[in-house]
Amino acid sequence: MTIPTGSGGSTGSGGSTASGASVAGPVDLAEFRAEVQRWCRENVPSDWRRAQTGASAEEFAAFQQDWFQQLRAAGYAVPHWPAEWGGGMPVAQQVVLYQELAAHDAPRLVLGFVSIHHAASTLLVAGTDEQRRRHLPAILDGEIWVQGFSEPEAGSDLASLRTVARRDGDTFVVDGQKLWASGAAHADWCLLLARTDPDAPKRKGISYFLMDMRSPGVDVRPVRNAIGDSHFCEIFLNGVVIPAENLVGPVNAGWQVAQATLAAERGMTMLELAERLGNAGFRWLVDTCRTPGPGGGRPVDDPRVADRLAELETEITGLRALCRGLVERHEADTAGPADASVVKLFYSELLQRTMDFAVEVAGLPAHAELRKPASSGWESGAWVLDFIGSWEWTIPGGTSEIQRTIIGERGLGLPREPAASA
């Protein structure tokens, strides 16, 4: 299936997606694009960036929940879910949807990102029927999830995690610490990895749990980051009791569950981020370059600036094509073992290069912009803050170094690094 990239019409073909969305038959993409455009014109708040700049944590959460329910009512909140759970949108339509949401500067679902992508994917791929019935409708009603994977000495090398879950009858008792848990201060539930067999090889002694964040012994502490936000949190676990029914997959198979569920979702989430980088970040960068500076000249009139803009546009076009290709291969079940790592690596480092150049051409006024909208990504137009924040993308979900190792070993078949053989 070829997915159109422009605003013109075409007809998508049938099939099924790796995330569970099924295709009932031919889809008129031009008609669907027009429908989404009308909806965006009528529903995307025109002043949301102003309202979310400097918003309190409570205002941010309330806005995000309200926006999620607006998207849900339109059928746009979880298009990648199976039809039986409120999704079922063909992949070609999902691409159009993300293109138009980005083009109309719709707020990102920052607060519900882990819920609708990673939590849902975990439940759909590896959860029990009871776990799905319990949590998928709750996510649609606003249940917020956080990912409890990284630890102080187990970030990129996640298999070295030391949080321990000990079996006690029909429960597991957990002790340990998680770090860089995005949105934990708002979360109701946690996707938790913990070691259940300390004597097993690193990747073979980990289990995957669903943890209620309201459980006794859970202590969440916000971490202030470089741009002044407290999106990241530490989670301290002291004798937290998790019912055995909240185990996902077999005991000691948590590593495999995590790899499968995260890989299944990376294609579509990266597709959305790539469309936003092209439709918001790059578009605003071009506008910045067309704005006269203190001396009256425009950066875009400098041939070197124009050349750099052309380079970035070419790279962004390539990124969007890579993302669409990954989604198509997932749909056809032909994705390679390193494809998702290629996309993640390319996106995160291209984002850094784009924001770095934006800071360079925006001049001193950009350095005086100290606030950005809470519901935007790293394409807010507050260039210095966006540049600082862009560095986060080369760390979570596996650092750039880890992605290169995966690409080399799994994609190119190179020998395994000695340090990674444990």
Catalytic residues: 265
SS (H, E, C) 52-69: HECCCHHHHHHHHHHHHH
Distance CA 81, CA 126 (A): 14
What is the separation, in whole angstroms, between the first and last Cα of the chain?
Answer: 41
In 3-state terms, the chain is what percent helix, strand and coil (to 5)?
A: 50, 15, 35
Under 8 Å between Cβ of 378 and 355: yes
Residue whose entry in the numeric block shows the structure tokens 């979880």 = 78
Q: What is the DSSP letter of 394?
A: G
Distances 325 to 139, 244, 332 between C-alpha atoms, Å: 29, 39, 11
Q: Is 172 helix (H, G, I), strand (E, B) or coil?
A: strand
Distances 55 to 59, 276, 367, 373 between C-alpha atoms, Å: 6, 22, 21, 8
Under 8 Å between Cβ of 141 and 68: no
Could you give the count of Cα atoms lying within 13 Å of 401 in the half-sphere of its Cβ?
6
Under 8 Å between Cβ of 233 and 223: yes
SS (H, E, C) 11-74: EECCCECCCCCECCCCEEHHHHHHHHHHHHHHHCCCCHHHHHECCCHHHHHHHHHHHHHHHHHH
Under 8 Å between Cβ of 3 and 324: yes
Q: Is 171 helix (H, G, I), strand (E, B) or coil?
A: strand
Q: Is the dihedral of CA 285, 290, 296, 297 positive or negative?
A: positive
Helices 303-331 and 339-362 pack at an angle, to 10 degrees, of 160
**Residue 344, amino acid:** K
